[in-house]
Amino acid sequence: MAWFKRKDKGIQTPTEEKKDTPKGLWYKTPSGKIIDTDELKKNLYVSPEDGYHVRIGSNEYFELFFDDNKFEELNSELTAKDPLKFVDTKKYPDRLKAAQKKTGLKDAVRTAVGKSLGKDIVIASMDFAFIGGSMGSVVGEKIARAIDYAIQHELPFLMVSKSGGARMMEASLSLMQLVKTSAKLAQLAEAKLPYISLCTDPTTGGTTASFAMLGDINIAEPNALIAFAGPRVVKDTTGKELPEGFQRSEFVLEHGFLDGIYERKNLKKQVNLYIDLIQNQPIRA
């Protein structure tokens, strides 16, 4: 056993002086694939080995869709209040302030107008990092105003959904946003302007029950969670065993609730292709 003993210990670094590997240099996908974070960013936050689409926010989607990442943000200063005086272990205004400080966002959606493949478009993109992308009064109002802007300027509208559903701290006020956004989309349809709905991971709850499924064209990213309620609730309600992956975008597409699933690198081209087809315009490259 002496063969396995080290006689000369050499230079030893005290434990307190050892430095950990800096965090954030690598990303591990659910399938176990590891990728350098810089490489991941260059690949639009998609793992090249297994195609896993990492969740991204409005900053990244705006950069993806708008030419040269140039856009004008709409109604950027709108913030939520607490008219119901919701009481929980952490007061709602405190949670809002904490989320704003952590994310640098005002609320769970940002809206903007800019050019995509050379033509103007209005985009609303949700951020899951802000209280789970929950839909409160500000989210509904910003989407409604973005649709009004699209109607006023005769522009197509793209909604990028990423949400855990209605914001419970706003109770009925949150649920009212389902009706308001749906009514505004009806006005957009009356104006004969295209509405493309992009469902990303996750698109659930009241978001799915309203604007996320009302597009002229409904599309999604691969393996995105798209559902109204969780699988346990659905199972308890139906009393049936559910197939594996029944709430993923591929299953939803197979059963007719989506028009297509596209990898992130192809989204800009596909969205604009659909808009050109709806408006009977020459297809842009």
| Structural domain boundaries in the chain | 23-54, 56-279
Global confidence as pTM: 0.88
Task: Sort strands 119-126 and 109-116 into parallel, antiparallel or unpaired.
Answer: antiparallel
Confidence of residue 216 (pLDDT cuts 50, 70, 90): very high
pLDDT greater than 70 at residue 15: no
CATH 3.40.50.1100 is right for the domain spanning 56-279: no
Q: Provide the token pair at 93.
A: 């205004």
pLDDT tens-digit map of 50-74: 999 999 999 999 999 999 999 999 9
pLDDT of residue 25: 83
